[in-house]
Amino acid sequence: MKTTRVKRAFKYRFYPTEAQAAELSRTFGCVRKVYNLALAARTEAWTLRQERVSYNATSAMLTAWKKTGELAYLNEVSSVPLQQALRHLQTAFTNFFAKRAQYPRFKSRKRSRKSAEYTTSAFRFRDGTLTLAKMGEPLHIVWSRPLPEGAKPSTVTVSQDSAGRWFVSLLCEDQTLQPLPPTTAAIGIDAGLDHLLTLSTGEKITNPRHGQRDRVRLARAQRELSRKAKGSANRDNARRKVAKVYARIADRRRDHLHKITTRLVRDNQTIVIEDLTVRNLLKTHTLARAISDAAWRAFRSMLEYKAQWYGRKVIAVDRWFPSSKLCSSCGTVRVTMPLHVRTWTCDCGAIHDRDVNAARNILAAGLAVSACGAGVRPQREPSRTRRSVTKQETSRATVGIPVLQGREDVNTASPVR
C-alpha cells in the first residue's frame, strides 16, 4: 500500500523554568517589535512613494535596527525567530495582493498570539530532548504522543496562550500515513444546532453545546474581572481565569470534533456535506453564539485534511440545494418548510424526519456530482436577487421539479434546519 508523505505539526505542552520563561517572553516581545517595525516601514514606503518593500529589504533593515542604541536589545534573543517574523509578514502581504486576505495588521501586546518560530539552525533535537537557541537546558515537554519513527522536526514553534499555558509545535514529515482500505460506504451529513450532525443512515449526533454548559462559570469569571482595577495584578489574575474557561471550552470542542471526524473518515469512502458560509450565517445575531459553538467550519476543515491523508473523498454540495423541502422518495419539493416542522408527510405517503431527509438528499446530490462532474445547481447571485445572505432554499432551486403545496406561509430564511 502506498504511503502518503505529508508534513504534520505535533503539538505538546511544556513547562519552562523561570529562566526559560523569561527568555521566551523576551523573544515574543522582540518578534512582535520587528514585525510591527517592518509593517510600518512597508506601509510608509507604499503610502508615500508607491514603493513595494521586499523581504530582503526588511532583512537589511533588521540588521540596521540592531546596531542602533534604541533597539540594541534585539541582539539579546535568537535572530532566527526575528527573521521568521519577517517571512511571515512577507506571506501576509503575498496573500493580501492575491486577494486571499486583508491588509496585515499590527501585533498587539495584549491581544495578539504570543509565538516564536525556530528553524533547524536555532534548535537541537536529540534523543527525545529539545533545546532552543540561547538556552542552556532542554525544555520539559510532556510527550503525550510519540513522534513518527525517524521523524526530524524542520521547524519548532513555541507559543503561550491567553490562559498562560506553554506549547511547542514540531513540524515533521510523517511517512507513516497510509490510505485506509477502500470501502463502498458513502454518507451524507446535515449540520444543525438541535443535533450537531444528522447522518443519512438516520443517526443523530448530539450537540454537546460546550459553550452553553460553561456559560455560568464564564459569566462568574467575567463579573469578577469587571470589578478589578485596570492595570492591577488582581485584574491580570482575573483575566487569566476567564481565559482558562475559554480554553476549557475550546479544548473540549476540538476533542469532540476530532473523534467524530476520525470515525466518519474511517468508516466511509465518500462523505457529502453542505458548502455552508459560516461567516454569513454568523450575521444572524440570534443564532451567532450557537453557530460559533457548533464550530461547523472547524468540522469541515478536519474532515477534509483527514480524508486527504487516508484516501477518502469529501464532496460539498451547493448551500442553496433544497435538501429539507425535497422528498427523498419521489422528488417532490414543498413550497415552504418552517423551522418548527420537524417531521412532514409527502403526497406519496412517505413520512420524513426533516434532518434525516435532508442528509439523504445531500448524499444523493453529492453522488450525482461525483458521477457526472457537474454542480448540483447554479450559484445564486446575491447582488441581483438582493435576498438575505443566510441559508435558505430559493425558488430557483426548485425550477422544473413538481411542487407540493404546503399550508405554512412562514419565512424560511434561516441558517438552521
Query: Of 28, 295, 292, which is closest to residue 167 (Cα–Cα)?
Result: 28
**Is 203 designated active site?**
no
What is each CA distance from 379 to 275, 276, 360, 376, 397, in whole angstroms?
A: 11, 13, 21, 9, 10
**Is 409 designated active site?**
no
With cell 417531521, the residue in question is 343
228-236 CB contacts, 8 Å cutoff, 24+ apart: none
d(CA 272, CA 317): 7
Helix H or strand E segment including 11: strand 4-14
- Catalytic residue, from 174, 190, 293, 393: name it: 190
C-alpha cell at 274: 453542505
- Catalytic residue, from 23, 174, 355, 393: name it: 355
Query: Of 384, 379, 377, 329, which is closest to residue 352 (Cα–Cα)?
Result: 329
Beta bridge partners of 344: 352
- Catalytic residue, from 274, 304, 393, 408: name it: 274
**Is 190 designated active site?**
yes
d(CA 338, CA 350): 19
- Listed in sequence order, the residues at least 6 apart from 380 whose beta carbon sits closer than 8 Å to its beta carbon are 320, 394, 396
Would you please indicate which residues are annotated as catalytic (active-site) residues? 190, 274, 355
